[in-house]
């Protein structure tokens, strides 16, 4: 279908066109002589207001607007893994190859390679009954991801024809399904509108952790597969580094990293760093299970609005295959700024700080597409999409609208603290303000898969950190001499938790990742030392003598123990603790 309107007004990325009778909301259009990509966001009579995803400078009234009759969609199929896209799924490496480092306006390029042949192995045969979500066949897309070619959600019937095992392009017809409405030809590629979530059977309860390899997350504020989390923080507090760490180490099959309105140099670091990184579990390049969506701050602002929908739609597609997907959005504040600018161009009534009144509902639409689900299909598969969004509040003010509306939705809050960052304590997560609403639902998992004692140790550690804050208030008011020996024990134990456990270097080859077993062993050592300190002080041992024990240096260095030796090292340190405290008691008796 094709019908033409004409431009009557241009206001930045918002273009008004008339003669658009019959248009639909969120319909994809081509704007102007250069056929810029746009999407209808408001309809008034025969006029339509379009947000254009490219630079609109030079557009003038009278130029044509072509309707396409379809919504903004993404292409889903083999070739998507390892790719770098812009906000509307144009492949950046292929674009650079064809036209150089700068986009030409209106330049159209397929999202997936039409010519590359893939090894397809059918999973069904002629006569089989299939429903939406069933697996037609598989393609070994990368060493880490086997691409499962799915029957589209709205198709069900009988396999009338299926190709043999062999090499095919994504545009070759691989199967014919006989349905009540007639025969449906299927290819390896399918499209899906970005603003509509892909369907599933049932959303499952959050009872499986998304292990990240970061001690403060996995121990104190855990995330689940299918969960929703946010990392708010001011400039320089380490949001981007934390998202890099999550992308590299999170226990997920597929990682989607959306750079939404971030600075070009930060996105360039991602593009340079990720292809060189190794997947920690397999040794293959990390890009063999990663998709990057790069939409930097100097790109057209409207494309930011599409970029997170592009990312989440690709995530749902791999979720439907039965994979666990981790999506990192950096940052949702820049996306909200795009909403604010478009809303201003539409002359809508502004809400708080100029953001549109529907900011909260748009944020909810995005985060609610996360989840761990029972997928469509006749065989049972479980997949998940976990979403972690960075928030960049101006001046680190967490009371601003984007942060506050995000907090109403998400279940995990990892709050970054500028004071900690200035003290060079990284990750700069504030353990007093952060929280996870998944902790209770994961208790059984920790008891079963780590150790029944783990939750008790975590509770003691959090109590010590809370007590330290209370005691520091006394120290600031009347000085450290006002503290008793037992209170100094608490301060020393809390210091060990902060410096020897919570501080973790993203750039150290060993400390960058910490397994949950190593987390438990390290925490057990510190709590054991705290308990022995308490007993020793009660028996009259001066705190000064305790703080001179050689084992303290071993405790400080245990984080650097290799994963395969960490449990053994921690047990040896526990033995040293017992020996050295017994030695103290012997000295005291003399």
Q: What are phi and psi of 127, to 5 degrees?
A: 100, -15
The alpha carbon torsion through 399, 403, 406, 407 (nearest 10 deg) reads -50
Per-residue pLDDT averaged across 370-396, rounded? 94
What is the helix (H) or strand (E) element at residue 52, kind and residue range?
A: strand 47-52
pLDDT of res. 107: 82
- Over residues 11-35, the mean pLDDT reads 92
Q: What is the mean pLDDT of the chain?
A: 92
Nearest to 163 by CA among 173, 155, 149: 173
- For 304, the token pair is 């930011």
Q: How many CB atoms lie within 10 A of CB 331?
A: 27
DSSP state letters, 244-305: HHHHHHSS-SEEEEEEES--HHHHHHHHHHGGGPBPTTT-SBGGGGEEEEEE-TTS-THHHH
- Region of residue 546 (phi > 0: left; psi between -120 and 50: alpha; otherwise: beta): alpha
Averaged over 552-580, what is the pLDDT?
95
Residue 40 is predicted with a pLDDT of 94
Decide if 496 contacts 526 (C-beta within 8 A).
yes
pLDDT digits 0-9 by tens, 340-355: 988 988 888 888 999 9
| CB-facing half-sphere around the CA of 73: CA atoms within 13 A | 15
* In the chain, ranges of CATH 2.40.30.20 domains: 4-71
Token match 């907090």: residue? 407
Give ranges for CATH 3.40.50.300 in the chain.
202-436
454-589 CATH choice from 3.90.1300.10, 1.10.1140.10, 3.40.50.620, 3.40.50.1000: 1.10.1140.10
Distance (Å, whole) CA 418 – CA 422? 6
Quote the pLDDT of residue 264: 72
What are 166's strand-pairing partners?
A: 120
Residue found under tokens 């979403």: 387
Closest to 13 measured CA to CA, from 38, 48, 30? 38
Would you place residue 87 in the very low, low, confident or very high pLDDT band (cuts 50, 70, 90)?
confident
Q: Residue 135: which H helix or E strand, with range?
A: strand 135-140
With a CB cutoff of 8 Å and minimum separation 6, the contacts of 586 are none
Q: What's the pLDDT band for 331 if we cut at 50, 70, 90?
A: confident
The backbone torsions φ and ψ at residue 379, rounded to the nearest 5 degrees and listed phi first, read -105, 150
Instruction: Give the residue carrying structure tokens 């639902």.
Output: 441
Q: What share of the chain is helix, strand, coil (3-state, %, to 5)?
A: 40, 25, 40
Better pLDDT: 303 or 377: 377
Grade residue 102 by pLDDT with cuts at 50, 70 and 90.
confident
Q: Kindly indicate the confidence band of residue 92, based on its pLDDT and cuts at 50, 70 and 90.
A: confident
Cα distance between residue 372 and residue 374, in whole Å: 7
CB burial readout 549-568, b (16+ within 10 A) else e: bebbebbeebbebeeeebbe
Q: What mean pLDDT is predicted for residues 102-111? A: 82
Average pLDDT over residues 80-85: 93
DSSP per-residue letters across 519-579 = HHHHHHHHHHHHHHHHHHHHTT--HHHHTT-THHHHHHHGGGS-HHHHHHHHHHHHHHHHH
In angstroms, how far is CA 20 from the centroid of its own chain? 38
How confident is the model over 417-468, as pLDDT tens digits? 999 999 999 999 999 999 999 999 999 999 999 999 999 999 999 999 999 9
Residue 529 has pLDDT above 90, yes or no: yes
* Cis previous bond, 427, omega within 30: yes
Q: Is the dihedral of CA 219, 220, 226, 231 positive or negative?
A: negative
Concatenate the DSSP letters of all residues of 396-418 into one string.
Answer: G-TTSHHHHHHHTT-SEE--B-H
Asked if the model's pLDDT at residue 131 lies above 60, the reply is: yes
- Ranked by mean pLDDT, the top range of 90-104, 152-166, 297-311 is 152-166
Q: What is the mean pLDDT of residues 193-206?
A: 95
Domain with CATH 2.40.50.100 in the chain: 113-188
Q: What integer is the mean pLDDT of 276-285?
A: 80
Q: How far apart are CA 76 and CA 151, in angstroms?
A: 12
Tokens of 36: 């810029």
Chain position carrying tokens 């043999």: 164
Confidence check: pLDDT of 37 > 60: yes
Phi-psi region of 384 (alpha: psi -120 to 50; beta: other; left: phi over 0): beta
Confidence grade of residue 590 (pLDDT, cut at 50, 70, 90)? low
For a pLDDT cut of 70, what percent of the chain falls above it?
99
Q: What is the pLDDT of residues 481-506, one digit of tens each?
A: 888 899 999 999 999 999 999 999 99
What is each CA distance from 257 to 72, 428, 521, in whole angstroms? Answer: 20, 21, 32
Tokens of 467: 């007590």
Strand 118-122: give its sheet, edge to edge. Answer: 146-150, 135-140, 118-122, 166-168
Q: Is the backbone peptide bond immediately before 331 cis, with ω within 30 degrees of 0?
A: yes
The CATH T-level fold of domain 202-436 is Rossmann fold (3.40.50)
pLDDT of 1 > 70? The answer is no
Contacts of residue 6, Cβ cutoff 8 Å, sequence gap at least 6: 17, 18, 19, 61, 62, 63, 64, 65
Contact 209, 420 (CB under 8 A): no
According to the model, what pLDDT value does residue 77 have?
Answer: 96
Task: Report helix, strand or coil for 46.
Answer: coil
Tell me, what's the pLDDT at 3? 57
Answer yes or no: is pLDDT of 555 > 60. Answer: yes
Both tokens of 414, joined, read 């990892």
| Residue ranges in 30-164 assigned as alpha helix (H) | 92-99
The yes-or-no verdict on residue 302 having pLDDT over 90 is no
CATH number of this structure's domain 113-188, picked from the four choices 3.40.50.10090, 2.40.50.100, 3.40.50.12780, 1.20.1250.30: 2.40.50.100
- Residue range 4-71, CATH number: 2.40.30.20
């Amino acid at each position: 279908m094709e019908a033409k309107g004409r431009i009557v007004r241009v206001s930045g990325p918002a273009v008004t066109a008339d003669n658009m009778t019959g248009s639909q909301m969120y319909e994809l259009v081509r704007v102007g002589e250069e056929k810029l990509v746009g999407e209808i966001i408001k309809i008034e009579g025969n006029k339509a207001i379009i947000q254009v995803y490219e630079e609109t400078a030079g557009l003038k009234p009278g130029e044509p607007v072509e309707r396409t009759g379809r919504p903004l969609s993404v292409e889903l199929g083999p070739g998507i893994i390892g790719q770098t896209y812009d906000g509307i799924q144009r492949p950046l490496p292929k674009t650079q190859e064809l036209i150089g480092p700068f986009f030409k306006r209106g330049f159209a390029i397929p999202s997936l390679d039409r010519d590359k042949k893939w090894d397809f192995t059918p999973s069904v045969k002629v006569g089989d009954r299939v429903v939406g979500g069933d697996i037609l066949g598989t393609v070994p897309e990368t060493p880490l991801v086997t691409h499962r070619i799915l029957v589209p959600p709205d198709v069900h019937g009988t396999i009338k024809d299926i190709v043999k095992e062999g090499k095919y392009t994504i545009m070759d017809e691989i199967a014919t399904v006989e349905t009540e409405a007639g025969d449906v030809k299927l290819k390896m590629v399918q499209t899906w509108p970005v603003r509509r979530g892909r369907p599933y059977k049932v959303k499952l309860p959050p009872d499986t952790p998304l292990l990240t390899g970061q001690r403060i997350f996995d121990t104190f504020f855990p995330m689940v597969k299918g969960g929703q989390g946010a990392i708010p923080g001011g400039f320089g507090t380490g949001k981007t580094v934390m998202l890099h760490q999550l992308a590299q180490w999170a226990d997920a099959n597929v990682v989607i990293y959306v750079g939404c309105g971030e600075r070009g140099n930060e996105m360039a670091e991602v593009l340079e760093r990720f292809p060189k990184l190794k997947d920690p579990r397999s040794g293959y390049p990390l890009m063999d299970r990663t998709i990057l969506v790069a939409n930097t701050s100097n790109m057209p602002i409207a494309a930011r609005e599409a970029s997170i929908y592009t990312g989440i739609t690709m995530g749902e597609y791999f979720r439907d295959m039965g994979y666990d997907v981790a999506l990192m959005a950096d940052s949702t504040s820049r996306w909200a700024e795009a909403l604010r600018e478009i809303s201003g161009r539409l002359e809508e009534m502004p809400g708080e700080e100029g953001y549109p009144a529907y900011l909260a509902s748009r944020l909810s639409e995005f985060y609610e597409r996360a989840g761990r689900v029972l997928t469509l299909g006749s065989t049972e598969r479980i997949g998940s999409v976990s979403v972690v969004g960075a928030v960049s509040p101006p001046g680190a003010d967490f009371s601003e609208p984007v942060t506050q509306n995000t907090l109403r939705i998400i279940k995990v809050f990892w709050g970054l603290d500028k004071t900690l960052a200035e003290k060079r304590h990284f990750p700069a997560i504030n353990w007093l303000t952060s929280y996870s609403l998944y902790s209770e639902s994961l208790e059984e998992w920790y008891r079963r898969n780590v150790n029944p004692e783990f939750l008790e140790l975590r509770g003691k550690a959090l109590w010590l950190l809370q007590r330290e804050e209370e005691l520091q208030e006394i120290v600031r008011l009347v000085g450290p001499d006002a503290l008793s020996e037992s209170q100094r024990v608490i301060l020393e134990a809390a210091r060990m938790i902060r410096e020897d456990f919570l501080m973790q270097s993203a750039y150290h080859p060993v400390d960058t990742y910490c397994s949950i077993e190593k987390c438990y062993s390290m925490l057990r050592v510190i709590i054991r030392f705290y308990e022995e300190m308490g007993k020793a002080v009660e028996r009259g041992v001066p705190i000064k003598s305790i703080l001179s024990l050689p084992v303290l240096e071993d405790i400080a260095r245990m984080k650097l123990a290799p994963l395969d030796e960490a449990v053994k090292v921690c047990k040896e340190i526990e033995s040293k603790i017992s020996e050295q405290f017994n030695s103290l008691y012997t000295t005291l008796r003399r």
